[in-house]
Amino acid sequence: MFRSTLSNLIPDAISYFEASASDGKWRAIFTGYGVDVYHYTTHMFTFLNDGTIVPVDRGRGSQSDRAGVRKITKGCGAGFSISYRELYTPPFPKVTKSPAGYIVKVA
């Protein structure tokens, strides 16, 4: 697994297929459809190839959850930066999943 920083986590996961940051507390895995981002073992969100950010699990809402979401999404460019509150405020989008369970697009 490639060691990264929060701001480079998604680009590094795309380049190396898997990356981690903050001593392994944050992990990103490239699925082919996008990048799944985990905080510890919680799948927090998916960053799709088209730039859509899909909320999956809000976690516990800790300070590291809130700060991490902004830093990670900001690393993809200014247009993608989103806060924890913006990401996890309903209504949540309907998603289409692959047979393997990966989020492939927002319906």
What are the pLDDT digits (tens) for 38-58?
999 999 999 999 889 999 998
What are the pLDDT digits (tens) for 44-97?
999 999 889 999 998 887 888 888 999 999 988 778 888 899 998 888 878 888
Residue showing tokens 């088209």: 50
Helix (H, G, I), strand (E, B) or coil at 17: coil
Task: Give the torsion sign (CA, 46, 85, 83, 3).
Answer: negative
Q: What is the pTM of this model?
A: 0.88
How many whole angstroms separate alpha carbon 96 and alpha carbon 89?
Answer: 20
**What single string gives the DSSP state of each residue in 78-91?**
GGG---HHHHTSSS
